[in-house]
Amino acid sequence: MSVTAIEEITRQFEIALREAGTVAQLDAMRLKFFGKRSEFKAMFRALGGLEPEERKAKAVVLNAEFDRLEREFAARLAEVGRQESEARWRAEAVDITLPGLAPRRGAWNPVTEVEQRCLAVLRQLGFEFRSGPEAEDPYYNFDALNIPAHHPARDLQDTFWLDTGAVLRSHTTTVQARVLAGKPALPIKVASAGRVYRNEAVDATHLAMFHQLEGFWVDNGLSLADLKGVLAFVVRELYGPKARIRFKPKYYPYTEPSVGLDISCTRCGGDGCDACHRVGWVTLMGAGMIHPNVLREFGYDRPGVRGLAFGWGLTRMTAQWLGLSKIRQLYEVKQRQFQYLDREQM
């Protein structure tokens, strides 16, 4: 064992230490330079064959160099280990401020399912969804919609009034009033949906609470032809291209002229059955051109500006699609009884 041999091993060690960039490479280097079969260990074993004085002098040099290289190796191993850990943490990092990805549990109520399908159809026509409060100011529920104080809809027997003077909204047209009160720029195309309340006797086909969906469009140059085109598109997207429709005159205080839309019964195809009371047709929507008094109330009574509005009961539509004779079943918790219909079956 000579000083030159120790220097050569040290040179090889320093080159290998610079080139080692992973913990795995350093582990292999540990065996090469510090393992039982390394040249360092062979030099330590060779010390036994030397004279005591020479053995002591060379052992001091060999131990000092061995300890120095071990310290350098340990420092490099710690550095590379920290770098690998940080790289792994960055790769596996999860931003805990993002919303979770928990799987959906349960299922939508059938009314919600139908509501989402209807809104998806209206989005194809450019309608955006807006919502409003269920406990509403009477102005938005009545006055702004051409329903004066003497109108029967304001009677205590027809509407739920709260002690605060608010009213449980009796239709989703309140959202139309609120949107127009904000005076947005034309064109205005809005859809709304949600619960509405009527003080009605509860029976197989009526509830004091049910769901409605409504859309309205205010723009320059609209006519009844635009309204009929929109309704025909909506019906055929929901019920299929073969659905037959017909229009009939109706009365609503917030539209003029007003129309009702019937579709051929989806159960009997128009031949007559219990679902359509043997007439072959089912009333689906109420619609019309927005009354001039409503447009005037919000400052849209300008030359050429017209509006159209339409709405339907989601509860009754859902019951029709599912073939239910009692709509109260839709609000019971036993939803396994419902058999959902694919879009192609509607």
Same domain, 65 and 36: yes
Residue 233 lies in a domain: yes
2-6, 30-34, 53-57: range with lowest mean pLDDT: 2-6
Query: CA 129, CA 120: separation in Å to the nearest integer?
Result: 10
Same domain, 200 and 329: yes
Same domain, 330 and 182: yes
Contact 118, 233 (CB under 8 A): no
* pLDDT in the model for residue 145: 92
In the predicted model, what is the mean pLDDT of residues 217-236? 92
Contact 130, 175 (CB under 8 A): yes
Q: Is residue 297 annotated as involved in ligand binding? A: no
What are 262's strand-pairing partners? 246, 283
Same domain, 63 and 157: no
Q: Does residue 88 or residue 99 have the better pLDDT?
A: 88
Same domain, 145 and 14: no
Same domain, 197 and 326: yes
Structure tokens at 147: 């329903």
Residue 282 has pLDDT above 90, yes or no: no
* pLDDT in the model for residue 344: 45
Same domain, 84 and 118: no
What is the enclosing helix (H) or strand (E) of 263? strand 255-264
* pLDDT in the model for residue 2: 60
b/e per residue 257-274 (b: at least 16 CB within 10 A): ebbbbbbbbbeeebeeee
Residue 119 lies in a domain: yes
Residue 75 lies in a domain: yes
3-19 and 52-92 helices, crossing angle to 10°: 0
Residue with tokens 């929507």, as numbered in its chain: 285
* Residue after which a domain boundary falls, among 62, 92, 122: 92
Residue 333 has pLDDT above 60, yes or no: no
The total domain count for the chain is: 2
Domain extent, residue 19, equals 3-92
* pLDDT in the model for residue 247: 92
* pLDDT in the model for residue 4: 75
pLDDT band for 293, please (50, 70, 90 cuts).
Answer: very high
Q: For residue 229, what are the contacts with CB-CB under 8 A and spacing of at least 6?
A: none
What is the maximum alpha-carbon separation in the chain?
Answer: 125
* pLDDT in the model for residue 221: 92
Q: Does residue 129 or residue 69 have the better pLDDT?
A: 129
Contact 267, 302 (CB under 8 A): no
Same domain, 143 and 264: yes
pLDDT tens digits, 58-68: 777 777 887 88
Return the top range by mean pLDDT from 200-214, 231-245, 290-304.
290-304
Same domain, 181 and 287: yes
Read off the CATH number of the domain in which 134 is found: 3.30.930.10
Residue 262 has pLDDT above 60, yes or no: yes
In the predicted model, what is the mean pLDDT of residues 186-212? 83
Same domain, 249 and 189: yes
Residue 24 lies in a domain: yes
In the predicted model, what is the mean pLDDT of residues 161-169? 89
Pairing status of strand 188-197 against strand 128-129: parallel
What are 305's strand-pairing partners? 220
Q: For residue 151, what are the contacts with CB-CB under 8 A and spacing of at least 6?
A: 142, 253
Task: Give me the percent of the chain exceeding a pLDDT of 70.
Answer: 86
* Residue after which a domain boundary falls, among 50, 65, 92: 92
Structure tokens at 238: 């929901």
* Residue after which a domain boundary falls, among 45, 63, 92: 92
Residue 100 lies in a domain: no
Same domain, 282 and 336: yes
